A = this chain, B = another copy of it.
């Protein structure tokens, strides 16, 4: 392998705890349950929104999709949030804390591999997020450059072309089996990162997908050690 592509939301950064914190600071719900259920529902609404693009609707960036799904989710939870506060929540996706091993692990892996994000976040969001989280990669790549969203194969193919990389020389690093299945189907090595807290304490994390050659790790330091970095 020469290139490692990294999923971002959930794999490198803790979207859930960060967004709950942003939401509680921005707009207390008054409900005992607080924001956790809303944020989880918001995140669940993300795949169906991207599906419409993957199935041929005009590409929209993640901010646009998140604005629409946030409105729906707030309505379902009967919450009234001002337009300014809703925008703060949407922008909250640019202020997500990294998992503790993400920064040090990326730095170790970067010594031996060309590292790049391959996220459904668009470039402007990723530039802000990587700066906020102080994460360094050699190239910031996004599904935006393919005008689609993962797991559309065009997204992975575009990233490989831009990095002049054959599929067998690349690994896809992600906490999500669907991302890894799509990458593996194209010949990239699937590298699973277990993120037990992605959906909070009460929800068990995904199991590594049963894919040929899958490398299952407990974080980026663990991955760096496994790859001899």
Interface hits, A54-70 → B, CB 8 Å: none
Docked complex: A120-138 residues within 8 A CB-CB of B: 122-124, 126-128, 130-131, 136, 138
Name which residue of chain B comes closest to A164, CB basis.
B124
Q: Contact at A139–B116, with CB atoms within 8 Å?
A: no
Count of interface residues, chain A, beta-carbon cutoff 8 Å = 22
Nearest to A136 among chain B residues (CB) is: B136
A184 to chain B, nearest CB (A): 23
Q: Chain B contacts of A114 at CB under 8 A?
A: 127-128, 131
A127-177 interface with B by 8 A CB criterion: 127-128, 130-131, 136, 138-141, 144-145, 162-165
Instruction: Please indicate the chain B residues that have their CB under 8 angstroms from the CB of A43 in the complex.
Output: none
How many whole Å from A108's CB to the nearest CB in chain B? Answer: 14
In Å, the complex CA distance between A124 and B114 comes to: 10
6 A-B Cβ contacts within 8 A? A114-B128, A116-B127, A124-B163, A124-B164, A127-B139, A144-B162
Which B residues touch A127, using CB under 8 A?
114, 116, 138-139, 163
Instruction: Give the residue among A114, A123, A163, A165 with the most B Cβ atoms within 10 A.
Output: A123
Known: A130-B138, A139-B140, A140-B140. 12 other contacts (CB 8 A): A110-B131, A114-B128, A114-B131, A116-B127, A123-B139, A124-B162, A126-B139, A127-B138, A127-B139, A127-B163, A138-B140, A144-B162
